[in-house]
Chains A and B, each alone.
Chain A
């Protein structure tokens, strides 16, 4: 047991070091670069899963980087929120496995090693971000995963990709800047950057600087999480990126914004007066995001744009749950953070497989594909049903908990919005399923398409199984995250 804390810095550092080495070692050998990246990600996944088991067995633990004890040094901690790194690593690994054949067609062979390098660095940044207990260290890890994400969007060949990456970069840099500003204010107020320590000293802060720090931090993470109305960078960036990158961005990188918001709530848990307006606005913005994202998804013709807008809708659900601040809504929001990650990565990888084989992205062009690509089509349909929140699938668990929380908090209007948004999600899911299964092919590339190779099929199949599996194991997940709630809202029930 005692050696496990040492793995905390390793699961962040290993992918980053491995990533930086990738182009140096395997620049001219793309398939070796792939094997290298998959090995690094596998080791990281095993380590993060072992950390998760240790957490379940013997409770949270932490590591003082460089032997400098908190609250002076940087503290890496492993609590149920940090435990998200385990699914993060698994989804990252599966996306990497999927990438092997996908990048052959979509990325210049000379740049393939850089692609894997960026994915690994991104993974390391996400791991570090979710584990760190230090506000400034959070900013640093955030920049690591953000900058690699901007570059990953730009690896796509389409001319629109560079512009999408540029817009993503501007918004991302702005939000990082707000987080940095907030770290400066928090340090000036409390004399510490350790989140837990600063939270306990927040009462010495004046109300104005504290409100400023909270507003900057919450806005910064809201941009990263693509909460309405600061979501507008997301659809282009997620739709333009190569499919495995879309999966990583939509499933993992926006979730880092959610984790950041959870840490913000931890930091300001004692300052109820400041927190209340934030929670109220999270519910409203979340509701608008859920409704608006679902509506925008409904009118899209491009399947990846549809999935990207659906991410905006689901982020809306998650923030409704966080803002309602009841135990069931907040645990539901955290469970949905995990479940949506699995569902959306399954969807983006399946969409990537379809685009890889047919070169088509418009939903209407994909008619009749189920006959030619049965497994991929089934995965797509299954994950879409799961996304709609049909029990007993993964999408149901979080949405149900959040809905129950809305009733407990006496907010039936929020429940109504959730139901309407849910019906819209069901509508666009049915539209895609109808096109895939019940319409005759209208395109030659659909009629001549064949199923994708195993290295693409396997990740899709595993994630699709996860869409059902996480629905079946909803209760353990909810119980697992429940202890975090008391750190988030202070005295709020």
Chain B
């Protein structure tokens, strides 16, 4: 197997890595809290995609036993893991969105730099001071 086919046979892993890195980039660099959540979701998707593809076998049959069906079978377990992972990701995302709503209501913005400047104003106003 030469280098080119080796890279090509792992194209799914490379895509997962690329997705993971772009998600991490969005999460780390964006100033907007909602965009950070989107970045997190992109990263989650990349991990889910990666785990699903590890269960794949070339020319594998679905793992359902019936008359006339013969292996090799694709591994069903990674799919079960990813299903659970998706459920978790949905609940984490919804909690994050609720928190963003509360931040918007209480601090008046979903942009990180604006929120932090509000915090500084509050500090200089002292305890009980007005909103910045």
Residues of A whose CB lies within 8 Å of any CB of B are 136, 139-140, 143, 147, 150-151, 154, 159-160, 162-163, 165-166, 169-170, 173-174, 176-177, 180-181, 183-185, 187-188, 193
Residues 73-118 of B at the A interface (beta carbon under 8 Å): 77-78, 81, 84-85, 88, 91-92, 95-96, 99-100, 102-103, 106-107, 115
Return chain B residues, CB-CB under 8 Å to A154.
Answer: 99, 102
State whether A136 and B81 are in contact (beta carbons under 8 Å apart), knowing that A159-B106, A169-B99 are contacts in the complex. Answer: yes
Q: With contacts defined as CB atoms under 8 Å apart, how many contacts are there between chain A and chain B in the complex?
A: 77
Is there contact, CB below 8 Å, between B77 and A163? no
Cβ-defined contact, B91 with A147, below 8 A? yes
The prevalent SS among residues of B at the interface is helix
Interface of chain A, helix or strand or loop or mixed?
A: helix
Q: Which of B1-9, B44-52, B60-68 contacts A (4 or more CB under 8 A)?
A: B44-52
B47: chain A residues within 8 A (beta carbon):
177, 180-181, 184
Contacts of A184 in B (CB 8 A): 47, 50-51, 54, 78, 81
B107 to chain A, nearest CB (A): 6
The 6 closest A-B pairs by CB, nearest first: A184-B51, A188-B54, A159-B106, A162-B102, A166-B99, A143-B88
- The yes or no answer to B27 lying at the interface (CB within 8 A) is yes
Smallest CB–CB gap between A114 and chain B, Å? 13
Provide the bound-state CA to CA distance between A181 and B50, in Å. 8
Chain B residues with a Cβ under 8 A of chain A:
27, 33, 36, 40, 43-44, 47, 50-51, 54, 77-78, 81, 84-85, 88, 91-92, 95-96, 99-100, 102-103, 106-107, 115, 119
Q: In the complex, which residues of chain B have a beta carbon less than 8 angstroms from the beta carbon of A169?
A: 92, 95-96, 99
A187 & B78 in contact (Cβ 8 Å cutoff)? yes
Nearest-CB residue, chain A, relative to B85: A180
B122: nearest chain-A partner, CB-CB: A159
Q: A140-B84, A160-B119 are in contact. Are A180 and B92 (CB under 8 A)?
A: no
- Tell me the smallest distance from the CB of B52 to a CB of chain A, in Å: 9
**A147: chain B residues within 8 A (beta carbon):** 88, 91-92, 95
Query: Which residues on A sit within 8 Å (CB–CB) of B54?
Result: 184-185, 187-188
Give the distance to chain B from A235, nearest Cβ to Cβ, in Å: 14
Write out the residue numbers on chain A whose beta carbons fall within 8 Å of the beta carbon of B107. Answer: 159, 162-163
Residues of chain B contacted by A183 (CB below 8 angstroms) = 81
Query: Within the assembled complex, what's the spacing in Å between the Cα atoms of A147 and B87?
Result: 12
Cβ-neighbour of A150 out of B50, B88, B95, B115 (below 8 A): B95
Q: Is the CB of A151 within 8 A of B119?
A: no
Q: How far is the CA of A154 from the CA of B100 in the complex (A)?
A: 11
B74 to chain A minimum Cβ distance, whole angstroms, is: 13
- Tell me, rounded to whole Å, the shortest Cβ–Cβ distance linking B127 to chain A: 10
**CB–CB A170/B40 < 8 A:** yes
Task: Write out the residue numbers on chain A whose beta carbons fall within 8 Å of the beta carbon of B33.
Answer: 166
